[in-house]
Amino acid sequence: MDKRKLNTRQDFEKWMLEILNPLKPYYSEEKARLNIGCTSAHYPDESAWMEGFSRPLWGLAAFWAGGGSDEAFEKIYRQGLVSGTDPASVEYWGKCGDYDQKLVEMAAIAFAILFAGEKIWEPLTEKEKKQVSVWLWEINRNKCCDCNWRFFHILVNTALRKTGMPYDKEGMEKSLDFIESCYLGGGWYLDGENGQADYYIPFAMEFYGIVYAMVMKEEDPKRCRRYLERAEQFGKDFVYWFAEDGSALPYGRSLTYRFAQAAFYSACVMAHIEPLPLPVMKGILVRHLEYWMNQPIFDHSGLLTIGYCYPNLQMTESYNSPQSPYWAMKAFACLALPEDDPFWTCEVAPLPLLRSEKYLEKADMIIQRRAGGNVVALPGGRTFGHVHGHTEEKYAKFAYSTKYGFSVMRSPVNVQEAAPDSVLSFEVLGHIFIRGQAKSYEVTKEQIVSVWSPLPGILVHSRIIPTDAGHRRIHTIESDYDCTAYDAGFALPMTEPEGCEVRSLQGEGESMVIKPDPNTNLIHSKTLIPVVKYEIRKGKNVIETEVLY
């Protein structure tokens, strides 16, 4: 991919098309399916192929809405939409079931109908329009998960309503009420019962609220104003997740969606709301996209891969198909702006002056900003059980870094394969055990306190205290075993292993370095993990570790 500097609308649309053009040879004969790989998600392959058709629309629809044109893609999506919804077609997407992945992918089609109807809807015959609307009605016949999925139900019914087709008014109100029940205050939501602060707040809950507010401001003015006001509040906190080099905090699930991390600010720009000044938001978007341009995230044919800063199946969730990474196209929502919009000519401004330490109350975390561009999050912990792959590593470590990422476990049989960075791990019974769901935790401006158990027979009370040089960890451990514990810092790139130091302040720990298996870290494929090794005895133990970065 071209690593040019971004600035103008032409720059943005050219790079978007460079990402999407390599897909063109892989659309099926009737254009309703897109298959670019041989790995699997938990849902049927046919749904994954429909996902491949749908997800590029997050970018293409905005591109079309702003005046862009690509005749080949326009033909592909008109033909594919018709054949995919035609029961007589060999590429018919089929009926849906409860919690069907196809319900997720309907949202991008709804987005395209709402913002680029002249390309994808108006050219259809009346028969074809009815056919598409009948298939979209499947979202009203089947259950959506009680999380951000309820916004898919809202957006699809909004598109049906706006095109004059039958829509589920009562069900839509119920979904809107559910979204309201997820609101925490201060601009923050929970992503349903198993949700907590992660990217599903900016690139889902907030993003869809902005989209709804743009198209329903006349019919539902109070709610639309509320959604936009929340987005303005949220954007003032969310900026703390971005480093000066454009990278964003690797934290939580669905990180293979990569530059969707900045989709929230792109949606703000699209809707002409300014949680931050327009040049600042442009700077965030430009630096973020340029950051990803410089990562090896594409294969040799130009297709996006599954992974984070390099291809990596190990860090994925069960819902990641080869087509899934194209959710990232949400970052191009700003292309909905026409050529003469001030966004395209305004300066690219740096981040505003941000505090070196910020308590994000609704996110249950403390953010530290360090010289050299390292942004570190100290979160409270995981609030839900094991729902998706590697949730222990994605939510329950003591610290997360834009510079060093985090590592995921290959196996629990030794520390090399466990790669236990930024966590206190225990070697007992021939396995490595780490923190999963905390029994309880509390985050204040001064510290994070949590009570957790890596396995029956060990109970840990941890205090994480941020300092100007990093943070201190004080662990009180009640153990039924004599065992070994490792209190670890960040996983450092093997080429530059000097960025983090850990040392024992209490408990007679021994400093050492673990060489974990390759490809366990999200950012660096080969790493070294500095740790302090402690010998834990039966009974009560108190250890204290200082982590410097």
Helices (H), 374-439: 391-395, 415-418
**Using an 8 Å Cβ cutoff, are 504 and 481 in contact?**
no
Determine the Cα–Cα distance for residues 176 and 187; give it in Å rounded to an integer.
Answer: 16
Dump pLDDT digits (tens) for 155-204: 999 999 999 999 999 999 999 999 999 999 999 999 998 788 999 999 99
In the predicted structure, residue 4 carries a pLDDT above the cut 90: no
Cα angle 25, 27, 33; round to 5? 165
Q: Determine the pLDDT at residue 385.
A: 83
Is the dihedral angle over the CA atoms 317, 319, 320, 324 positive or is it negative? negative
What count of residues does the chain have?
549
In the predicted structure, residue 472 carries a pLDDT above the cut 70: yes
Q: Enumerate residues 6+ apart whose C-beta is below 8 A from 164.
A: none
Determine the Cα–Cα distance for residues 193 and 204; give it in Å rounded to an integer.
Answer: 15
Query: What integer is the mean pLDDT of 206-214?
Result: 98
Q: Give the least confident one: 133-142, 302-311, 380-389.
A: 380-389
Query: What integer is the mean pLDDT of 439-465?
Result: 97
What single string gives the DSSP state of each residue in 272-292?
T--SS-HHHHHHHHHHHHHHH
Q: Determine the pLDDT at residue 2.
A: 54
Average pLDDT over the chain, rounded to an integer: 97
Q: Determine the pLDDT at residue 3.
A: 62
For residue 198, give the nearest of 144, 261, 243, 151 by alpha carbon: 261
What's the Cα-to-Cα distance from 449 to each of 65, 312, 314, 477, rounded to whole Å? Answer: 48, 33, 30, 14
Q: Determine the pLDDT at residue 5.
A: 86
Query: What integer is the mean pLDDT of 451-475?
Result: 98
Half-sphere exposure of residue 252: CA atoms within 13 angstroms, side-chain side: 25
Q: Determine the pLDDT at residue 193.
A: 81
Dump pLDDT digits (tens) for 83-112: 999 999 999 999 999 999 999 999 999 999
Q: Please provide residue 545's backbone torsions phi and psi, each rounded to the nearest 5 degrees.
A: -125, 140
Determine the Cα–Cα distance for residues 65 and 70; give it in Å rounded to an integer.
Answer: 12
In the predicted structure, residue 386 carries a pLDDT above the cut 90: no
In the predicted structure, residue 358 carries a pLDDT above the cut 90: yes
Q: Enumerate residues 6+ apart whose C-beta is below 8 A from 221.
A: none
